[in-house]
């Protein structure tokens, strides 16, 4: 069965002391869930990654980056390679988060290169997909999600895709307090799983984990996780409070 996977995306929040404090609190609290079958990761801003890796070293919590570049090295001012992230102890890498798609302007093609580079470089990508409010209102959710999944995974074999986690994050639910209902999340997760079955095979579709993200809080986490195809949660705002993040992890177990 698919082990629940909860990840915290700190986005461009925290400073040095608050990153340390948050990581230390999460490490301390995570002792209580150490023997449970759940995967947990946090994704701090680049500049605090190394320090957070150090704090979480003896815990069961993994660290991920929020972004990366696909080229291995060279004249790419301001970019961070997969091997650099691996070097400092990262396990995961977010790819195609909606803020990178819609604020920074990342394309499906670029995101695909990042997913491929992450897998080939030994990091586990979390490919984020999801529709805008106008797209949902125009009944285009399935069309958008299909494009994000197909283009994001283009050129990858089933074996390579088994390293990927998909995060369904409807853009209208991110940071808005508007959560998709558990039923809405289930419908899209079920759709994505069937799509993966068509693109690859049933075995892969059954094994791949699909997280939900968008205003996940301690009081809605359990209901979202009760849905058959919701395998985990990608948490923004609530992952900045250790108590809330731990409560969400407990709700996911």
Give residues in contact with ligand 13P (CB under 6 A).
Answer: 9, 97, 169, 174-175, 213-216, 234-238
Report the distance separating Cα 252 and Cα 230, nearest Å.
Answer: 10
Distance CA 126, CA 177 (A): 23
Distance CA 232, CA 210 (A): 7
Catalytic site residue from 29, 99, 169, 189: 169
Nearer CB in complex with ligand 13P: 9/141: 9
Our CB check for ligand 13P shows the closer of 149 and 216 to be 216
Phi-psi map region of 13: left, alpha, beta (phi>0 left; psi -120 to 50 alpha) = beta
Two structure tokens written together for 186: 């289930």
**Shortest Cβ 45–ligand 13P spacing (Å):** 13
Q: Which residue is nearest to ligand 13P (CB)?
A: 236
Q: Minimum distance from CB of 174 to ligand 13P (Å)?
A: 4
Nearer to ligand 13P, 72 or 175 (CB): 175
Whose tokens are 């939900």? That residue is: 212
Question: Distance (Å, rounded) from C-alpha 246 to C-alpha 241?
Answer: 9
Whether 155 and 193 have beta carbons less than 8 Å apart is answered as: no
Candidate list 97, 99, 135, 189, residue with the active-site label? 97
- The minimum distance between CB 128 and ligand 13P, in angstroms, equals 7
- DSSP 8-class letter at 127: E
Whole-number minimum distance, CB 238 to ligand 13P, in Å?
Answer: 6
Check if 169 is active-site. Answer: yes
CA atoms within 13 A on the CB side of 203: 3
Of the two residues 90 and 205, which places its CB atom closer to ligand 13P in the complex? 90
97 included as an active-site residue: yes
Please choose, from the candidates 100, 91, 66, 92, the residue with its C-alpha nearest in 3D space to the C-alpha of residue 80.
66
Residues 154 and 138: their CA atoms lie apart, in Å, by 26
The CA angle 162-54-121, to the nearest 5 degrees, is 30
Nearer to ligand 13P, 56 or 221 (CB): 221
Contact assessment for residue 129 and residue 96, using Cβ atoms and an 8 Å cutoff: yes
Min CB(217)–ligand 13P separation in Å: 8
Residue among 29 and 244 whose Cβ is closer to ligand 13P = 244
CB of 157 to ligand 13P, least distance (A): 27
Residues classed as catalytic: 97, 169
């Amino acid at each position: 069965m698919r082990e629940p996977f909860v990840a915290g995306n700190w986005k461009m929040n925290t400073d040095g002391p608050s990153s340390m404090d948050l990581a230390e609190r999460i490490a301390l609290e995570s002792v209580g869930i150490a023997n449970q079958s759940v995967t947990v990761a946090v994704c701090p801003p680049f500049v605090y990654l190394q320090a957070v890796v150090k704090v979480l070293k003896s815990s069961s919590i993994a660290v991920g980056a929020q972004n990366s570049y696909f080229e291995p090295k060279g004249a790419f001012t301001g970019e961070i390679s997969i091997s650099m992230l691996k070097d400092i102890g990262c396990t995961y890498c977010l790819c195609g988060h909606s803020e990178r798609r819609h604020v920074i302007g990342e394309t499906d093609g670029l995101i695909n290169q990042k997913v491929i580079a992450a897998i080939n470089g030994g990091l586990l990508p979390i490919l984020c997909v999801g529709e805008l409010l106008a797209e949902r209102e125009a009944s285009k959710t399935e069309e958008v999600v299909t494009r994000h999944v197909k283009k994001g995974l283009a050129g990858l074999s089933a074996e390579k895709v088994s390293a990927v986690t998909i995060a369904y994050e409807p853009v209208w639910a991110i940071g808005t307090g508007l959560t998709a209902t558990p039923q809405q999340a289930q419908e899209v997760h079920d759709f994505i799983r069937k799509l993966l079955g068509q693109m690859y095979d049933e075995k892969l579709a059954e094994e791949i984990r699909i997280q939900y993200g968008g205003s996940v809080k301690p009081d809605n986490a359990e209901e979202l996780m009760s849905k058959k195809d919701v395998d985990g949660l990608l948490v923004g705002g609530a992952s900045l409070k250790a108590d809330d993040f731990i409560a969400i992890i407990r709700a996911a177990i």
